[in-house]
Amino acid sequence: MTRNMPSINMENIHHSMKSSFLSCFNFFLISLLLTHPSTSANPVIETEQARFIGTVLDLPVDEQGLARSVHAYLGIPYAEPPVGDLRFRQPVAKIWSNAAGEPINATSLGNRCPQVYNPYFPVLGNYDEDCLNLDVYVPVPVPDKAAVMFWIHGGAFVVGTGSMEILPLSPLAVFGDVIVVAANYRLGALGFLSTGDDEVPGNLGLYDQRQALKWVQDNIQAFGGDPSRVTIFGTSAGGASVSCHVLSPLSSGLFSRAIMQSGVASSPFFTGTDRSHIAKRASNLGKLVGCVNDTSKRLVECLRNVHVEDLVNASAMIHETWVLSNGPSINIPWSPVNDGHFLSKDPTTMLKEGLVNNKVDLMAGQHSHEAMLPIMAFLKDPSEPYINATIFETILTISKTNQAIAQPIIRQAMNLVYIDDITKEQNYLNTFIQIHGDHVYVCPTDAFLRASENADSNMYLYHLTHHPSASIFNTPWSGACHADELVFIFGAHFHPESPFNLTEEEAKMSMQMMKFWSNFAKTGNPNKESEAEEEISSDLRWPKFTSSNPSYKNMSLLMNNGRALKAKECRFWNNYLPTFKSFFDDSAIHGPNKMNGKDEL
């Protein structure tokens, strides 16, 4: 039976943000009208598996002022329900028993994967384990052999859904002239439990995404799409997921291009490198739901019989405890692990060893104030954000960033990079924002692109610096915060009932970003829509990123270009810090005056 999942008390984490998000939630109810079905005849698509009845979503106008619409096929199952014995197993492709029978209704969104309610990103609709479904948005008319953009949602691997009412995907399909596909995947412990052994190796949520990509390869031609031009893109946990597919040989051939927004696999997202910690987390989950067993096999057998609501609440409790004990950290308990199958090693090692699918074109980027989201809970007065030296030190102490700068000499080096005058009382808000943002987003992205460089693929880097006047987080001072790019690339402004009413200049910026993203999906080059046309020659041209010429596009009203983004800071995080950590690790083995068995000079 489908049930709405209860929420846990998140007040300790979100107390300073809650009112802002709840006010934003009022807009969600309005936004249900954003993609309402029209009275036009329902379209029907016939695949080799089954026939699907879709719905028509009307959009007011396109950029030429012409009325446009989208044929949407919603809630299509791509895998069998992962329930009973299939819980904690890899997805099984959906088998249709009535392929030659009556068409299947695909006119409404399917179940959302079980999760607790979160005021950051409220997900409406029914929650049920039978949630492995996807949505297909086809522009009308559909271009010949249309490029396909496959969206992987974010949400820290614990919340979210493929199609979200507040940010409908139909404008991108229309203005980009691309087919957009969005899939649900299992979240929290249901999607990312690992026992640290072969019983449940982990990464089930990534396998779900892969199964949905296989569905696209098998079926998208029936919708007018080109299976050889599939671009995967996602933000935050979705961006990290995208880069996991870039690294994994199991996903090779399922897409040709990838866009990683605010997250890559080498970001400190992962807690899955220590198998003893992974196994302990699984054991702790079992204890919370009454599954105390001496082997992984017995533990998982017990967990398969636990009611889904109890399992999700226990999963959320472990996540909440982790966040409270680790402060403003993006490092999260339910996340991808190096299982030896999907990811043969931890992502940083895979990058160092060149284990990257070099035939994939890449676009990646992040925002100037990414870390404003986790820091908000530490602001006593959100209307006047201020962090003094004491609070700054406290945050660093409990933050995962502190593990990277634990040695005093490394901390002194970091102070030289980020703090102008450590003797002066000042507002350390932006200092922490930059430290955390560079450590978690900017510099891992830089390292990922450099490690992926290949003459046969294109790479493009962006840095969003413009804070939208209608932000997801509804704060006037947060800067270009985490997830703010979604307002632009999904064209939310172009619905008259949308809560995101941008200025005229911002609307042009949104249109340009949709064009950059869709052009990249079509050609691997954001500067041209087809292989036959020439690149943009104006100041809008987005230069390639290479190690020798690390150019980037500043996503702002001016759309100007830059070079060597955060070069000094990334030398600290990507070069200086690993060298010193290696030295201290070696010193712990050989003694403080020894290095590699030789006397220090």
Q: Which amino acid, 106?
A: A
Is residue 236 annotated as part of the catalytic site, yes or no?
yes
Nearest Cα neighbor of 358 from 221, 433, 467, 453 is: 453
Determine which one of 320, 370, 485, 569 is catalytic. Answer: 370
Is residue 153 annotated as part of the catalytic site, yes or no?
no
| CB count in 10 Å sphere of residue 471 | 19
- How far the first Cα of the chain sits from its last, in Å, is 71
Residue 13, exposed/middle/buried by CB under 10 A (0-12, 13-18, 19+)? middle
Residue indicated by tokens 């052009």: 519
Q: How far apart are CA 509 and CA 498, in angstroms?
A: 17
Residue 236, exposed/middle/buried by CB under 10 A (0-12, 13-18, 19+)? buried
User: Residue 234 in 3-state DSSP?
Assistant: strand
Tell me how many helices (H) and strands (E) the chain has: 20, 16
Q: How far is CA 551 from CA 177, 509, 569, in A?
A: 28, 20, 16
Q: How far is CA 350 from CA 340, 342, 345, 353, 445, in A?
A: 12, 12, 6, 5, 14
| H/E element, 69 | strand 68-77
**Which residues have a Cβ under 8 Å from the Cβ of 587 and sit 6 or more positions away?**
594, 595
**Which residues have a Cβ under 8 Å from the Cβ of 573 and sit 6 or more positions away?**
404, 438, 439, 443
Determine which one of 14, 71, 467, 482 is catalytic. Answer: 482
Write out the two tokens for 390. 């004491």
Q: How far is CA 310 from CA 46, 112, 304, 423, in A?
A: 40, 17, 12, 51
| H/E element, 237 | helix 237-247
Q: How far apart are CA 90 and CA 224, in angstroms?
A: 29
Determine which one of 20, 69, 170, 236 is catalytic. Answer: 236
Nearest Cα neighbor of 400 from 371, 367, 423 is: 371
Helical H segments across 336-441, by residue range: 347-352, 372-375, 389-398, 401-404, 408-418, 429-437
Write out the two tokens for 307. 């009611």
| H/E element, 261 | strand 257-261
Strands (E), 271-421: 361-367
| CB count in 10 Å sphere of residue 364 | 27
What is the set of active-site residues? 236, 370, 482
